[in-house]
Structure 1
Amino acid sequence: MLDPALLRNQTAALGERLAARGYVLDVAAVEALESERKAIQARTQELQNLRNTRSKEIGVLMGGIARLTAAGELDQAEHNRARAEQAKAEVAGFGDELKASEVRLEEIRGRIEAIALGIPNLPADDVPAGADEHGNVEQHRWGTPRVFDFEVRDHVELGARHGWLDGDTAARLSGARFTVLRGQLARLHRALAQFMLDLHAGEHGYEETNVPVIVNAESLVGTGQLPKFEEDMFVTSLGEHRRYLISTAEISLTNIVREQIIEAARLPLRMAAHSLCFRSEAGSGGRDTRGMIRQHQFEKVELVSIVRPEDSDAEHARMTRAAETVLEKLGLPYRKVLLCTGDMGFAARRTYDLEVWLPSQQTYREISSCSTCGDFQARRMQARWRNPDTGKPELVHTLNGSGVAVGRALIAVMENYQQADGAISVPEVLRGYMGGVERIA
């Protein structure tokens, strides 16, 4: 969530800045709501003051009646009684109007908050302007795509030849966009996840963390999936409890610090988790229906960092480099891309995508996104750190990145390491996880 002061005091300017992200802010509606909020809030405070004043006056008048009666000043006592009754009537009237004003004020605040929760983060100054992926800017490439002296097969054909990758059985079990993996290919998939976790925990200083894959709505609001992207989530209900299957372990990891005040000595917090992820792929249409490119259920190793605000840009570069190292150790050619304003995720202020080379498609495909969110998620979660210079709680900055998507890494290894006979060479860094196997066939 953005700083409410921007929406309240700089509505038109904010609308112009959000337009760069393709988001249309209804400036007139926000300004009208804010104007009504101010007027009702002022009237509410006025009514509260009048009620308090009249209540004190009633107390004084009623207290004087007994004294005046005892002194024989019956006319004055009756006068006080009449004034007290009049004041009581006024207080009752104030109460009715006050209750109506408070109800309306709460309604307006709710509408403003709903608008605020649907507004994306503002891009960093160095993010290029653009409407979609065509506006992204390539930063660099690593590795040279392999030249094959035989006809390249895609991962589906490679897997199907040996019964390793079975979409038909998965479809009977669960429907489209699911896959069954078997044998050595399932083992290779597991090896990739173990390798990534060991690398990030050992070399990159992330604490391995095992998190729930079912979370409550508050967690999704905290990281920005709700309320805007509910259609992308799988939902489960048990009695009155409605919970969601995570689309990324970022949700669970980041919400660990929700409603917490972290001491400065604990920062940065760096966490890594290997988890199942679930996405409805709403709006994806018929894209990538073949094989494992776009699944309802997949696995990912996720990186999350919680840092001081002044450290977030350096941490973003560090996190992206950690994800790059995975691909380099696997020997997979990739390119790094800075996403433009129109292609970034909802909560991001800057995102680097890593795209791995897929020989069957003769193109680079996304395998990791690393984003810095500034204080956008922290404000929604009320995640803070105690600044030792001021002694006061301040919002942390949050970052997240794929380190990397396990299924897509498997696809890339299969295709880049395929042999003419349909076998797949095992990258050297994975052989220890495969019991020394160098080739699966």
Structure 2
Amino acid sequence: MHDIRLIRDDPEGFDAALARRGLEPASAKILSLDTEGRALTTRIQEAQSRRNEASKAIGQAMGQGDTDKAEQLKAEVAELKKTMPQMEEDGRTVAAKLTAMLETIPNLPADDVPQGEGEEDNVEVSSWGEKRAFDFEPSEHADLGPALGMDFETGAKISGARFTFLRGGMARLHRAIAQFMLDRQVNQNGYLECAPPVLVNDAAMYGTDKLPKFAEDSFKTTDGRWLIPTSEVSLTSSVMGEIIDDLAEPIRLTALTPCFRSEAGAAGKDTRGFIRQHQFEKVELVSICRPEDSEAEHERMTECAEGVLQALGLPYRKMLLCTGDMGFGARKTYDLEVWLPGQGAYREISSCSNTGAFQARRMNARYRPEDGGKKTDFVHTLNGSGLAVGRTLVAVLENYQNEDGSVTVPEALKPYMGGIDKLEAAA
């Protein structure tokens, strides 16, 4: 959500930032509704004040025996009582229109976000690792996986498209990856492990900018709850409506949860394989911090995600997303793209975003500065993948495959594999 005061102070700057996002100017419509709403508020306050004055004056007039004046005042009070409800309703209508407009406008990009229309305009910041030189033609995971326990057919049979049934060593490797990631983020990077709900209410989805604009991208239960598209929703919403007294150090939270996405906007994309599923697991990273700390925290969070890829020996590149490819709530985003030799391409495996105060305003999450005064300010929130478990499994399969169709377990995962050091097809 945007700060209406900033739009009042610099409408031209607001529109210029929207233009960077490829959007039409909006400040004039916003400020028109804002002016109308404030005028109605003033009228309502004046009417309330006059009603109170007139009500008090009725008693005074009666005490003085001035019945004519008392009757006039009674008539005035009656008229105010009659007209005020409509004024209040008009005020609520205008406020609702203003909110509806503001809540559908994306976050404004940071100054150092490159201009662009789509992923082709993203900027490579750095790369890590050497791509493996194969002495055979590497296979895609969708071809390699079925013999090792990645069962696409059974998943589709019991649940439909974009579901997969993992068996045996494949399921064990998937679990090992998730456990390794979670342990690393907790033990080495200082994130607090959480086990949050995966069913949330409208307020949690709204506060993390998933509603109302992206309702079709998520699954809703028959009792009105939502299956989380990412535990960013649960973790960030843990400070919803709170005033945090001590935020000298960022609050860092992590969780391993199932995630659910309808993929409504991804029709026809990645229909083959394990890349884009309706149900998947992810280790999420969330930070809540002071505004002055959020840029450094964004860099740190991204490094924490990079460390997982480095520990697994998976080549990747770090991309700074352009204005046209950033998510709705982000002001700046880094994507980590892992190398998949079977596909001969880099694919996103983590996205780390700084949303500034955008989510905090929606969920009314604030902090009290260290001076202990009464004034509060909105926190900044950040979120990132540390990492997506299924996509990491895909990367391990493609990068560690052998000519005979087996897959070597990376050294970092062997302690989690119960003595299994290679996935092989069942005899």
Shorter-chain TM band: over 0.9
CA deviations 1:242-300 (Å, max 9, x no partner) are: 11000001110011111111122673111110000000111211010001111110000
Q: Measured at CA, do residues 10 and 243 of structure 1 come closer, stay the same or move farther in structure 2, by a change above 3 Å? A: same
CA distance in 2, matches of 1:253, 1:327: 23
Determine helix, strand or coil for the equivalent of 1:48: helix
Aligned to 2:5: 5
CA distance in 2, matches of 1:168, 1:354: 30
Determine helix, strand or coil for the equivalent of 1:254: helix
1:329 paired with 2:311, answer yes
1:358 paired with 2:340, answer yes
Aligned to 1:115: 101
Aligned to 1:75: none
Aligned to 1:376: 358
Q: What letter corresponds to residue 415 of structure 2 in structure 1?
A: G
Q: 1:139 aligns with which of 125, 134, 140?
A: 125
Aligned to 2:254: 272
Give runs of aligned pairs for residues 53-64 of structure 1, distance below 5 A: 53-64=53-64
Between the two proteins, the alignment pairs up a number of residues equal to 423
Q: Is the 8 A contact 2:247 2:290 kept in 1?
A: no
Aligned to 2:415: 432
Worse-matched range after superposition: 34-43 or 330-339: 34-43
Q: Is the 8 A contact 1:371 1:400 kept in 2?
A: yes
CA distance in 1, matches of 2:325, 2:247: 36
1:245 paired with 2:230, answer no
Q: Is the 8 A contact 2:247 2:367 kept in 1?
A: no
Q: 2:330 aligns with which of 348, 354, 362?
A: 348
Give runs of aligned pairs for residues 7-406 of structure 1, distance below 5 A: 7-65=7-65, 80-162=66-148, 164-238=149-223, 242-264=224-246, 267-389=249-371, 391=373, 392-406=375-389
CA distance in 1, matches of 2:236, 2:24: 28
Q: Percent identity?
A: 55
Cα offset, 1:435, TM superposition: 1.3
CA distance in 2, matches of 1:35, 1:261: 30
CA distance in 2, matches of 1:30, 1:3: 11
Q: Is the 8 A contact 1:11 1:30 kept in 2?
A: no
Worse-matched range after superposition: 147-156 or 358-367: 147-156
Q: What letter corresponds to residue 412 of structure 1 in structure 2?
A: A
Structure number with bigger Rg = 1
Q: Measured at CA, do residues 266 and 29 of structure 1 come closer, stay the same or move farther in structure 2, by a change above 3 Å? A: closer
CA distance in 2, matches of 1:25, 1:113: 17
Q: Measured at CA, do residues 91 and 9 of structure 1 come closer, stay the same or move farther in structure 2, by a change above 3 Å? A: farther
Q: What letter corresponds to residue 325 of structure 2 in structure 1?
A: D
Cα offset, 1:45, TM superposition: 2.4
CA distance in 1, matches of 2:262, 2:415: 35
Q: What letter corresponds to residue 46 of structure 1 in structure 2?
A: E
CA distance in 2, matches of 1:25, 1:92: 44
Determine helix, strand or coil for the equivalent of 1:161: helix
Cα offset, 1:29, TM superposition: 3.0
CA distance in 2, matches of 1:267, 1:177: 40
Cα offset, 1:306, TM superposition: 1.0
CA distance in 2, matches of 1:191, 1:327: 14
CA distance in 2, matches of 1:338, 1:277: 25
Q: Is the 8 A contact 1:267 1:306 kept in 2?
A: no
CA deviations 1:10-39 (Å, max 9, x no partner) are: 444322211211233544432332232233
Determine helix, strand or coil for the equivalent of 2:280: strand
Determine helix, strand or coil for the equivalent of 2:292: helix
Worse-matched range after superposition: 385-394 or 399-408: 385-394
CA distance in 1, matches of 2:350, 2:78: 62
Q: What letter corresponds to residue 432 of structure 1 in structure 2?
A: P
Q: Is the 8 A contact 2:342 2:398 kept in 1?
A: yes
Consecutive unaligned residues of structure 1, counting only runs of 5 or more, are 66-79
CA distance in 1, matches of 2:102, 2:63: 50
Aligned structure 1 segments of 4 or more residues deviating by more than 6 angstroms: none
CA deviations 1:45-70 (Å, max 9, x no partner) are: 222222122112112112223xxxxx
Cα offset, 1:120, TM superposition: 1.2
Aligned to 1:74: none
Cα offset, 1:390, TM superposition: 5.0
Q: Is the 8 A contact 1:233 1:278 kept in 2?
A: yes
CA distance in 1, matches of 2:32, 2:370: 41
Cα offset, 1:177, TM superposition: 0.5
CA distance in 1, matches of 2:322, 2:41: 40
Cα offset, 1:133, TM superposition: 0.9
CA deviations 1:104-149 (Å, max 9, x no partner) are: 0111001101111111111111111111111110001101111211
The normalised TM-score by structure 1 is 0.93
Q: What letter corresponds to residue 22 of structure 1 in structure 2?
A: G
CA distance in 2, matches of 1:63, 1:232: 67
Worse-matched range after superposition: 296-305 or 28-37: 28-37
